[in-house]
A and B are shown apart, each in its own frame.
Chain A
Amino acid sequence: MADSSLVLIAAQGVSAAASYLYAALGESVGQRSGVYNLGVDGVMLMGAFTAFYSVYSGQSPLMAVLIAALVGAAMGLIMAFVSVTLKAEQGISGIGLYMFGLGLSTLLFNTLIKTPRPVDNGFGKVPIPILSDVPIIGTIIFNQNLLVYGALLLVPISWFVLNKTTFGLNIRAVGQNPQAADAMGINVARIRYLAVTFGGAMAGVAGASLSIAQTNIFQQNMTNGIGFIAVALVYFGGWSPLGILGGTLLFSIVTTMQLWVQTLGVPISPSLVSMLPSIVTIIALVLAVSLYRTQTPSALGIPYRRDEN
């Protein structure tokens, strides 16, 4: 192998970061509009299952991602309906959505596939010509599967949409001060519906990325809490796409590194090493908080009631 261990660790970390990245970026858009969705993990599971089942029954991987996005959007729509129209408490709605997604994806799996089976035509590595030959960076970034490229591209796209378009401005206005936004003629409910549904769609893609790009398999509860970590990473990134990218890469690369450390035969309990990603993330945030101030969407978690100004 030409590449050093560190390069290989980074490359594997970047590839594993894709699911976190889709889920966290989608969630951050919803949160920017004032709605936090703790049910990301359940939406991811539905996305992971539907994408896997699509490929399993002969669809192309791209079609499968589209289907997963639609299913995720539908789950996001449920969240939006409960939290925006019915003005329900968001944390608990998210937990309900999580349970629903966890149960339904397992139910569908047990009914339609029954036992863990791999697919062999998920997303494979697509080295980008020329760029993948660049030393170090080429291996780390430009020799990945399509969904990893998609996730990385989503970072500048969401930054641009949030900061440079009217739509993004509206999302931030609604999350910052819905009363003022409403007075300016922005339809608060509509914007929140769009943002939360988008978040759901991205969580669906995150699931697809897990089941048909990262692993090529589906199993019940296969996210194992990735959705919750993704929510945490939104806070880590301070709602900024770049910050989220940083947090995601940090968590994912340390997770990979932790696996490598175990193979070195160092006599430490593997479970102690497994704590590293979480500990490093917390410490990193402690250090980062002193460096940058984040802009919290001040209406986050508060249902908007026009009659209550």
Chain B
Amino acid sequence: MKTRFFALSFLLVAVIVSAGLPRSTQAQAAATMAATMPALTKQFKIAIVAPSAKNDIAWTESIFDAATKVQTELGGKDKLEVTISENLFQVPDAAAALRDYAGQGYDLVIAHGTQYGGPLFEVAKDFPDVSFAWGTATDVGTSAGLKNVFAYEARAEEGGYVNGVMAALLSKSGIIGIVGPVEAGDAKLYIDGFKAGALASGKIKAENVKIIYTGSFGDTAKAAESAKTLISQGADVLTGSAQQVPGAITEIQKAKGFWFGTQTDQAAGWPDAVVASQAYDWAPMLKDIITKRLGGTKGGVAYTISLKDGGEKIVYNAKVTLPADVKAAADKAVADISAGKIVVPGNPAMATPAATMAATMAATASK
């Protein structure tokens, strides 16, 4: 009964999405993201304003990496300039930076934090010729009369589910641990998805998926202590989110257990522990935004990256050998989620269909 309702509402949203004006819906955005870019005739300038450090191996690193990746693809600094103002956790400081960059003639100014929405809309109003991108968000500012704002978000729960499926199969002790920052937002979506994935196998008991929230995003030492606590309770597979995770990954690597990452690929630093990471790849989106802007579209598109459109990837660490059945289970989960056969808790189709519809229609109407 319940599943049918969810399936129905998911279907409903899908229908609305695909029936909407095709130019700017999420489905269409995904489709065009693969399109080739026109050659840049003059330098394109991107500025990023972010709440944490560009090397946080988490949220901010995901966008900075994407921008530098696109920079390399396009032929370096002369073609695409990328500047970042990091650690601007105070909104007034971020507001100043947004205005500063807009005034300096940047083509695209990225406000990489939900909290930047208020000042972003004000700055965007004053600089109608500059394009802005805002994440995580779904509002492109149509109701505020804006035509130059893109929005983006990631379906963190999808990769969380896949990671959870693998974690359950890999755990020998049957105990899995999660080191979370604060029980909200992107982190909570990821963790809920992970938990659902872990329980889906039926191999793990619900009470053996143990969660500790540190109450902070950047408390590395507390993340390490949380991991120690989980490990001494028998957990041999851990995951976690936010820039504090290096503390936790190091602990599970010491204990010769496994780690599943999110937001960026975390295998480089911990080659013995990281099995796979859900990596946000914003590069196709950035390329699409650049293409749209060069084509005269300054904003109005809301992007959602997911497993289906390839914006979210499960990146495997070649140094950790994954049993074939585990890899197969992960691949099946990815396929099922992409096909809509599995709807992971936290998916707007499940949580608030009305909200997604409103957001989608806002994106649609703006064009």
Contacts and interface: CB of A to CB of B under 8 A. Distances in A.
A binds B: yes
Interface in B218-240: 218-222, 224-226, 228-230, 232-234
B220 A215 contact: yes
A223 B221 contact: yes
Interface string B89-107: 0000000000000000000
A262 B218 contact: no
Contacts of B183: 269-271
A242 interface: no
Interface stretch (A91-99, A113-121, A147-155, A192-200): A113-121
B348 to A, nearest CB: 25
Contacts, number: 101
Given A263-B229, A265-B207, A217 B246 contact: yes
Of A8, A117, A217, A260, chain B has the most CB atoms within 10 Å of the CB of: A217
A289 B94 CA distance: 45
A221 interface: yes
Interface residues of A, number: 35
Interface string A108-140: 001000111110100000000000000000000
B103 to A, nearest CB: 27
Of B57, B221, B270, chain A has the most CB atoms within 10 Å of the CB of: B221
A157 B115 CA distance: 50
B269 A117 contact: yes
A118 B220 CA distance: 12
A203 B177 CA distance: 32
B215 interface: yes
A12 B249 CA distance: 18
B221 A263 contact: no
B254 A224 contact: no
B182 interface: yes
A210 interface: yes
Contact of B246 (A12, A116, A274): A116
Interface string A213-234: 0111101111110100000000
A224 B233 contact: no
A262 B269 contact: no
Interface in A1-21: 1, 8, 12, 16, 19
Interface in B28-76: 53, 55, 57
A270 B215 contact: yes
Contacts of B243: 219
B246 A224 contact: no
Given A215-B250, A220-B53, A259-B229, A270 B224 contact: no
A12 B225 contact: yes
Interface string A224-262: 101000000000000000000000000000011001101
A210 B55 contact: no
Of B183, B216, B247, B253, chain A has the most CB atoms within 10 Å of the CB of: B247
Contacts of B218: 219-221, 224
Contacts of B221: 16, 19, 210, 214-215, 222-224, 226
B84 interface: no
Interface in B191-234: 207, 210-216, 218-222, 224-226, 228-230, 232-234
Contacts of A215: 220-221, 224, 247, 250-251
Contact of B225 (A222, A256, A265): A256
Contacts of B224: 214-215, 217
Contacts of A118: 246, 249-250, 253, 269-270
Contacts of A262: 211-213
Nearest to A5: B233
B331 to A, nearest CB: 30
Nearest to A221: B218
A217 B221 CA distance: 9
B229 A110 contact: no
Contacts of A221: 218
Given A110-B55, A219-B218, A263-B230, A255 B212 contact: no
A217 to B, nearest CB: 5
A16 B225 contact: yes
B55 A270 contact: no
B220 A271 contact: no
Contacts of A115: 55, 57, 268-269
A12 B222 CA distance: 12
A212 to B, nearest CB: 11
Interface of B: 53, 55, 57, 177, 182-183, 207, 210-216, 218-222, 224-226, 228-230, 232-234, 243-244, 246-247, 249-251, 253-254, 268-270
Given A12-B232, A110-B55, A222-B221, 12 more contacts: A118-B270, A215-B251, A217-B247, A224-B216, A224-B219, A224-B220, A224-B221, A263-B212, A263-B229, A270-B183, A270-B213, A271-B182
Nearest 7 CB-CB pairings of A with B: A270-B213, A116-B246, A263-B210, A118-B250, A215-B224, A274-B215, A115-B55
5 contacts: A114-B55, A115-B268, A226-B221, A263-B212, A263-B229
